[in-house]
Structure 1
Amino acid sequence: MSQSTSIPKKQLRIRDHGYDNYMEIEKKTRKVLKFQSLILSQPNQSIPIPRLETLAFRIGFTRHESSAFILKFPHVFEIFEHPVQRILFCRLTRKAILQIEQERLALADQLSHAVTRLRKMLMMSNDRRLRLEHVRIARPALGLPDDFEYSIVLRYPEFFRLIDAKETRNKYIELVEFDPKLATCAIEDARERVYRERGSEAEDIRFSFLIDFPPGFKISKYFRVAMWKWQRVPYWSPYENVSGYDLRSIEAQKRMEKRAVATIHELLSLTVEKKITLERIAHFRMAMNLPKKLKEFLLQHQGIFYISTRGNNGKLHTVFLREAYRKGELVEPNDLYLARRKLAELVILSPRKATVDRELIGHSRSKLDDEMGQVTRAYVEDSYGDFKGGDGVGQGEDAEDDLSSDIGSDVDSGDEDDDFDDSVSMRNKSLE
């Protein structure tokens, strides 16, 4: 693909600390998810610490690093002593289990949206088909369940079909029928919204993108003029089949370059968190007519996309859709995004607060034991008085009233523990 465009090729990457800080938390969250998968793979959703240290080699941790890592996140991992084996075990906390359940329910509720996302992805491809393995790798970003091959592809034969390519021996997901109603890009809706709110000239925003440069980005006079010209360049829609066009002219190449920007924009709009790694985008490069040097291509449009190199020692590149974020949060959040952010909140929560919570729980339990002990002694003394044959009718009524009031206070103070036990048992059944 030709690199001819009015925008300068050489662009320095300007860091935006809001997105980089977001990825710093995301880096910790990815490691936490790896340990969670190890714990949940065990029969009782708990694992001995020695075995956890041994299995940690699979996810790139040494013995001492794994133990130190789980101690950093007491709101996610809980260490306890086994009552029989008398060795230390690790399990997930109540908050972590509730977060997993919330994410599972959100993923199930958005199944219809996941079907639409996959259909639009296939509509953007050249042959209306994508490789199954590439979709499987990108399934967390697209909000697809782990078993999407059965729960989505095979469940909706009116939309998808699985085929085996004889020439490559790979499985592909193929679109059954192209739906023109879905062939509307997110940027088109954004243009219409801007046109209605601001009343701009229709010719100026007909092919334009929402631009938001990072802080510190220097805009020269030449660059401003070049950007104005580029915004007015027409292009073909990502859902339009361009196989019948002659792409040898300079004008056609400019249109294809802007079409590539629109394709990546639409791909990011289809994701749950409006972000995806550059490596995942590269998997769809051939199927969606994207340029070879994706990183350099995206750096030419830093007002539309942001590339963060935080995570995996700079080897991982995460592409954000700038217009979808404000102050480090999604402008239009969804339930699945909010459920995943709950885990990030548990990760960044102070360990000191976890210590205070344990002290409060221990204090409430000791107070509960003392009150129950007093109730038991009072009940035994009253029963002994009735056995002696004294005046115990009125005394028995008073004792019954005291007993009922004491038990009522105990139930109020123990509701949280009862809910915890019920939620853990329900979670274990659902996870099993």
Structure 2
Amino acid sequence: MILQITIIPHRFTQICAFIDAKVKWVRDPYLDFAVQREKNLKQVISLKNIIISIPTTTISKFFELYPYVFIQFQPSLGLHPHVKITSQALLLHKEESTIHNSRLHRDDVVKRLAKLLMLIGVGKFPLYVIERLQWDLGLPYRFIPTLLAGYPEYFQVCSVKDCLTVSELKKRESLEGNFGRRKINHIPFPMSFPRGFDLKKKVMNWVEEWQDLPYISPYENAFHLAPNTDQAEKWVVAVLHELLYLTISKKTEKENIFCLGDYLGFGYRFKKAIAHHPGIFYVSNKIRTQTVVLREAYKKDFLVEKHPLMGMRHQYLHLMNKVIRKPRPGIILASSRGKSSNITFANKEV
């Protein structure tokens, strides 16, 4: 995709006023839980897709953790154990496929992918960058032949629809009618802090001044700004904010962000922006990785706006969390992981 975007020159006073004070990291249990509850979800759905496309896939220990998603069986003596999808998981897969195949969802995911390609006016990314973000963007399995081929108007032409180059933050300001009440293009980022978080007064003063700087669209190329200035950092934050908003879960692994940043030429600037603005971005250390979460998108551990695919993923999580417990021979009791029950049902599943 080749884009032709007119860059409006910005004549801003370029200063760097960030206070050299350590910004304290405070754990947010709600956002940590929003990350932790999806442990192994990506792997389970990926394996489900592989098993459905290749029915003879052999078993591994991983499948034993999720008996309501995978069924272990041996087709005949002398053959290796095999695995297939449970009827419950197949029902969810059909619902998920219905969403992926719906025109509404296909248009939505193509629009978000096109907006990703247009960040800072680049217009193209290597396939490996897109594949790293495939899960977070909600792209379907084998998305190139099943999705992109059907939208040549987005991915094989040299023109771009103007509506796609409007950031989520700017669109929201317009809908709320704040353009007439604020200084032109002075859009602040929504911020929130967990209980116990305390910014030093001099840092808070800097944040207030920084919020009042002009907002440069993440779809403009502003690399002409001196990299260590506050104005340049506000643009970098705008790019990060838009990137996270394009994902269906409003979060992604930090390494995905750094991979994208390296390709775009941001280098260490993404890392610095995340560290400087804990009221906008939260970094969770759960499930043996670091995940960057857009704070404003969550109320406690719940998404404020839930994408249909996230609803499907929560149904998969419910199935994954069901376990079969065998208190004694002849009795099978099913329950959710981490929850105990004193009720025993003889010879039936619950």
Say whether the fold is shared (TM-score over 0.5): yes
Equivalent residue of 2:309, what SS? helix
Q: 1:20 aligns with which of 32, 54, 69?
A: 32
Q: Following the alignment from structure 1 to structure 2, what is the Cα–Cα distance between the partners of residues 307 and 221?
A: 23
Residues 230-309 of structure 1: matches in 2 within 5 Å?
230-242=210-222, 245=224, 247-248=225-226, 253-286=229-262, 288-309=264-285
Quickly say closer, same or farther: Cα 1:248–1:35, change in 2 above 3 A: closer
Which runs of 5 or more residues in structure 2 are unaligned?
A: 1-13, 336-343
Q: Following the alignment from structure 1 to structure 2, what is the Cα–Cα distance between the partners of residues 20 and 202?
A: 35
Which runs of 5 or more residues in structure 1 are unaligned?
A: 54-65, 162-174, 365-432
User: 1:190 offset after TM fit, Å?
Assistant: 3.3
User: 1:349 offset after TM fit, Å?
Assistant: 3.0
User: 1:8 offset after TM fit, Å?
Assistant: 4.5
Equivalent residue of 1:283, what SS? helix
Q: Following the alignment from structure 1 to structure 2, what is the Cα–Cα distance between the partners of residues 265 and 139?
A: 18
Q: Following the alignment from structure 2 to structure 1, what is the Cα–Cα distance between the partners of residues 154 and 63?
A: 44
Give the corresponding residue for 2:200.
220
Count of aligned pairs: 321
User: 1:326 offset after TM fit, Å?
Assistant: 1.3
User: 1:261 offset after TM fit, Å?
Assistant: 0.3
Quickly say closer, same or farther: Cα 1:36–1:249, change in 2 above 3 A: closer
Give the corresponding residue for 1:337.
310
Q: Which amino acid aligns with 1:185?
A: S
User: 1:9 offset after TM fit, Å?
Assistant: 5.7
CA contact (8 A) 1:137 1:280 kept: yes
Superposition CA RMSD, Å? 3.5
CA contact (8 A) 2:241 2:294 kept: yes
CA contact (8 A) 2:332 2:348 kept: no
Q: Which has the higher helix share?
A: 1
> Quick check: 1:98 aligned with 2:98?
no
Equivalent residue of 2:125, what SS? strand
Equivalent residue of 2:292, what SS? strand
User: 1:289 offset after TM fit, Å?
Assistant: 4.8
Give the corresponding residue for 1:178.
160
Quickly say closer, same or farther: Cα 1:120–1:146, change in 2 above 3 A: same
Quickly say closer, same or farther: Cα 1:205–1:127, change in 2 above 3 A: closer
CA contact (8 A) 2:136 2:248 kept: yes
Q: Following the alignment from structure 1 to structure 2, what is the Cα–Cα distance between the partners of residues 26 and 3?
A: 41
Equivalent residue of 1:150, what SS? helix
Q: Percent identity?
A: 28
Give the corresponding residue for 2:41.
29
Q: Following the alignment from structure 1 to structure 2, what is the Cα–Cα distance between the partners of residues 363 and 235?
A: 60
Q: Which amino acid aligns with 2:158?
A: V
User: 1:142 offset after TM fit, Å?
Assistant: 1.3
Q: Which amino acid aligns with 1:184?
A: V
Q: Following the alignment from structure 2 to structure 1, what is the Cα–Cα distance between the partners of residues 136 and 27?
A: 23
How far does the alpha carbon of each residue in 1:162-183 deviate from its partner, in whole angstroms, 9 at most, with x for none?
A: xxxxxxxxxxxxx621322222
Quickly say closer, same or farther: Cα 1:34–1:182, change in 2 above 3 A: closer
Q: Following the alignment from structure 1 to structure 2, what is the Cα–Cα distance between the partners of residues 255 and 195?
A: 24
User: 1:293 offset after TM fit, Å?
Assistant: 5.0
Residues 299-378 of structure 1: matches in 2 within 5 Å?
299-311=275-287, 313=288, 316-352=289-325, 355-356=332-333
How far does the alpha carbon of each residue in 1:180-205 deviate from its partner, in whole angstroms, 9 at most, with x for none?
A: 22221111233346667xx9962499
